[in-house]
Amino acid sequence: MLALDINSLRFKYKSWTEKKTDNTFDNLDLQVKEAEKVLILANSDEGKTTLSRLVSNLLTKFIPSEIEGSIKLFNQDINSYEPYQLIDKICYVSQNPMEMFITTTVEDEVAFPFETIGIERNKIIEIVNSALIDWGLEKYREVSPSELSGGERKRLLLAISFAINSKIIVFDEAFDDLDKEYRDLLAKKIKEKNNTFIVLSARYLNQFNNVFNRILTLENGQIHNNQDFKTQFTHQAIHHYLNNSRLLKSKDFREDNLLIKKEKLEISSLEIERVRESNKSIKFNLHCDNFIVRTGEIIRLVGKNGSGKSTMSRILCGLDKPLTGKLTLNDEQINKDLLQTKVAYLFQNPDLQIFLPTVYEELAYGLENIEGLSSKQIKEKVQSCAKLFNLELDETPSTMSFALRKFLQAGVYYLLDRPFIILDEIDGAMSYEDSYYIIDKLSEKGSALIIITHDDNFAKEISDRTYLFEDGIVEEIL
């Protein structure tokens, strides 16, 4: 039997500005058998999330749109199911965990779906305990999901989805934000379980090897059986782009061709103690003897989920204060207020930094606070930036794809000329080429880039140095 049967699907969003929109899908067909494991690769903004939400019946009832064709689960039209009937049929894991959490603790989040369908209490406790242990979250059971790291939040969603054990499980960029240990675990579970798995990704990762029955691509609104996917979606495929960029230029070349002032940011004898407000018994400590970054450099921060990469980034950009330690700019001690004018921090989740009604307003906002810029100059800079990052100035950011919101986030800081820029999981839900494009553009003026990633290959060949976060210690590694 077919678990999922999509025929002649046409779909498009209605614009909030009432302008004409193009079809996201045009005569899309997809058939997936029961217990089949299917990987669908697609570049940024090709409709991965849209397809995920459509097959989970989470879109057309809530978002203005037009749809034709049919979507069937187990030979029954998806619209004939009541919402409560879908819980054992299909489960969807979003690329953005925060849009799916609804409770105040980790254990309540796992328990919630089982409470809604009336599972006996002792059985719920058993399910919750098993799920938390499987995904390394048992010590966080009383912690709010909002206080977890990005990778821990993704693991919580995965714990819930495997606990529900729906017949079909749809993963939208589920491997992103996870460190190698949990990427390996997720691949193992997909391979071993008898559920139907549909995994959508912008990149082909090493963990995908020997896991899937079929590998398809989503391009130009249709599904294709493209056997040449590795030429487009693997890390090796973007070398043609890197070779034509400045990213493979030597560190000396980059430092000699700065378009901004040469600067150095340094941390010494840093001690961080972090307490989760929702459970003060869980403490996190981080120690760093020395961390240094200069304009023109590209540095990687690597380490397991929850190892402190984002925590230290918050110190570097002045959002948090360390317990002890010294932060200097050009060998002069620097305070939090000055740090915030020197260090940009692109969060894992762009929605935490995007808040204005249009792309134009978002890009212009920072420039409007710079003395000496006329409205004409601001407009010219914004228009040039929008073209560079492929953005429509009248678009509403909240209705743009996740990838385009990341491009907007990058565009904001491109205009502000910060000498130091932290990119937290810039490769998440992005194609390799799009990720490197953002890195390339942000480095053009000579800004130092600090890249946080869980991908072993990503940014390795363009980095000058790497810092490892392990067991509460930050050290430079070769």
Residues with a known catalytic role: 425
Query: For residue 169, which phi and psi values (nearest 5 degrees)?
Result: -125, 125
Helix (H) or strand (E) holding 388: helix 375-388
DSSP code per residue over 140-155 = GTTS-GGGS-HHHHHH
Q: Measured at the alpha carbon of residue 240, what is the angle toward residues 205 and 445, in degrees to the nearest 5?
A: 100
Q: Measured at the alpha carbon of residue 94, what is the angle toward residues 132 and 319, in degrees to the nearest 5?
A: 80
Of 309, 344, 348, give the one whose Cα is nearest residue 427.
Answer: 348
Helix (H) or strand (E) holding 68: strand 65-73
Strand 465-470 to 298-303 pairing: parallel
Gyration radius of the chain's alpha carbons: 23
Whether the CB-CB separation of 212 and 184 falls below 8 Å is answered with no
Q: Residue 199 and residue 208: Cα distance in Å, rounded?
A: 10
Strand 420-424 to 65-73 pairing: unpaired
| DSSP 8-state secondary structure symbol assigned to residue 80 | G
DSSP code per residue over 202-248 = SS--GGGTTT-SEEEEEETTEEE--TTTHHHHSGGGGHHHHHTSSTT
Q: Which residues pair with 222 in a beta bridge?
A: 219
| DSSP 8-state secondary structure symbol assigned to residue 118 | T
Q: Residue 321 and residue 334: Cα distance in Å, rounded?
A: 12
Q: Which residues pair with 422 in a beta bridge?
A: 345, 450
Whether the CB-CB separation of 158 and 135 falls below 8 Å is answered with yes
Q: Residue 461 and residue 423: Cα distance in Å, rounded?
A: 16
Helix (H) or strand (E) holding 6: strand 2-13
Chain centre to alpha carbon of residue 244: 26
